[in-house]
Each structure stands twice: as C-alpha cells, then as structure tokens.
Copies of this chain bind each other. A is one copy, B any other.
Amino acid sequence: MSVLPEDPRVGELSEAIILRGILERLGGSRALVGPGDDAAVLAMAGRVVATTDTLVEGPDFRLAWSSGYDLGWKSAAVNLADVAAMGARPTALLVALALPAETRLSFVLDLADGLRDACDRLAPGCEVVGGDLTVSPTLTIAVTALGELEEREAVRRDGARAGDVLALAGEAGQAARGLSVLFDRFRDADGRPVPVDRSGLVPDDARALDAQLRPLPPVALGPVAADAGATAMMDVSDGLARDAARMAAASGVSFDIDGAALGPHRAWAVSGGEDHGLLATFPDGRELPEGFRAIGRAVPARGDGPAVNVDGAAADGGWDPYRDWDGRSG
C-alpha cells in the first residue's frame, strides 16, 4: 500500500478516495437516497424547478484570485439565485466537477466546504445530493439546482405589464466593481493574475471583492416576491442593461430606470453582472416586500426605441460570454 503525500494531487488518487473526502465535508444528506448510488432520490411535492449554471476556469474565474472555497460558494450561489428567481425555494444541488489531474485534494475539499456553507447561508435546508467527478484539462464546475414552488405560481420573465413598478433586491454593481478591482490591482506587468493581498484595500474595495468572489444573492426573497404578487422576476447575472432588456423583450414592455435609485455603483450596476440580485416587477401601488427597492417602471414597448432607459438615455453594455471573454486564464 502506497503512502500518500500530505496534500496529494487528484491524479494520484482513486475516484473513490476523492469522493469520500468530499462527502465527509458535505456532511450527511437528508435525501431519500443521497450521494453514492446511480442517482439521488428526493421527496419533492408538486412542481419542481430546475436550472444549471457552470463556472469555467478562464472565462468565469482565475485560480490566482479564487480559492476552492470561493468557487464552491459561487457555483452554489449563482444556481440558488436562478431557482429563487422563479419564486421557488432551493432544495438540492447536483455538482459535476471536472478537475485537472494536478489539482490538490485540499482545493477540492475547500470547494466542498464552500458549496455546503453557501447552501447553509443562502438556502437553509438545501444540500448537495449527488454529483460527478471527471478529469479535465480545464477546471469546470457545473451545478444543477432543484427547488420547490410549494403552493406558489412560478414567476416568469414575461409577466411585466406597462405601469408595473420595477424593483431590485440585493447588491447592484458591487460584484462587477470587484472584478474591476481584481483586473486593476491584482495583475502583473504582463496582465497575468496574481494572488490577492487584501492588506492594501480600502473597505469598500474589499466589500466589492467579496461580492465578486462570494456573492450573496437574496435567495430567500424569491418566494417572498412571488407571495407579494411579483408579475415578473429574474436574477441579474449580466448587468441591468442586458437583463432588464431580456425581461422587457419577454414581457413586451420597455423599462425606465431611475439612475439615482441604483446607488453608489450605478455604472457598474447597469453594465456589469454577477451580483445575482433579483429584478422583479410588481403591480403599481402594491407595497414592495422588505428587501426590494423601486428602481423604475415598466412602460409601453418603445418599438425600435431602447428597451431600457436610465434617466432617459438608452442603457447599454452587459456581459456576453462569447463576445467579452479575453481568453486568458490563470
């Protein structure tokens, strides 16, 4: 029997040993059948909400900037937000990890910690019920989240009506600003990412970094918004300009946004994503649920005019993974 080094690389280990380590970090499962069989079995009543979102090294993160824990947290958070955006409560994650053979076991175990802690913090009761491990040249984390609508109707993107109030819950622009802090402050002369040293950061930059690396989408407010009569809802992953335009197109309206309502990071909020806040519309005159603030209003579709105006001028920008990736990794 070989003696393993203190922090082995996954390429030195069997799948079974890696899995055992991950499952220890995740803790026990309350599923009817949890990890370890061909599939998980879950008690889910009625309508099930399901979504998948992937983080890929390079376009979505750099290993110099994100720890395993950060990546576990973020890959859970972005999927939990998508479930919440339908008005549902997340109950289960499946996690497909594709790992380079040279990945340290400690990194994988930290990632499992991040997954678990994000579930505990953002969606108590939600847990990892299954997954898959493969080897890959590119570190890739594909998460599927499942949730329950209970008695609520799903809140879609296409229900906004002219006159509705446009409201936002969660951060607006912090995560995008955090990305700019990383690009501006933590690259070497050749543009390669270098490890983050927080000691020189002012508190607001440190908060922006946290928002980028470990976002806090307002997951619990998804069902709250549904109960409060939201007519449309989505999570903001690509910036308000792009995402509000998607809601506008689906609903057949346009939006007028009040820039002052977007807070101190207005430009980032419009053009940058990844806060995974919840954007929702509510009927005019309806009291907004706590946690949501009005940022504008739905108006009749402007046809060839702008789908989204901010203070009367067309909003543009927003992130497109196929157009905007700079091709670097590290």
On chain A, the number of residues with a Cβ less than 8 Å from chain B's Cβ atoms is: 75
| Partner among B45, B53, B129 whose Cβ is within 8 Å of the Cβ of A96 | B53
Chain B residue numbers with a CB within 8 Å of A94 are 50-52, 144
| Partner among B51, B54, B149 whose Cβ is within 8 Å of the Cβ of A130 | B51
Is the Cβ of B132 less than 8 Å from the Cβ of A53?
yes
Q: A52-B96, A53-B96, A129-B50 are in contact. Are A38 and B149 (CB under 8 A)?
A: no
Within 8 A of B (CB), among A223-263: 233-235, 250
A176 to B149, CA, bound (A): 43
- Assembly stoichiometry (copies): 2
Task: Check: A142 CB closer than 8 A to any chain B CB.
Answer: yes
Q: How far is the CB of A219 from the nearest CB of chain B, in Å?
A: 12
Q: A60-B134, A156-B33 are in contact. Are A49 and B39 (CB under 8 A)?
A: yes
A56 to B235, CA, bound (A): 29
A90 to B40, CA, bound (A): 13
Which one of A6-14, A192-200, A267-275 is at the interface? A6-14
| Partner among B13, B33, B37, B145 whose Cβ is within 8 Å of the Cβ of A322 | B13
Binding site for B on A (CB under 8 A): 10-11, 13-15, 18, 32-33, 36-56, 58-60, 81-83, 85-86, 88, 92, 94-96, 98, 101, 129-138, 140, 142, 144-147, 149, 154, 156-157, 233-235, 250, 320-323, 325, 327, 329
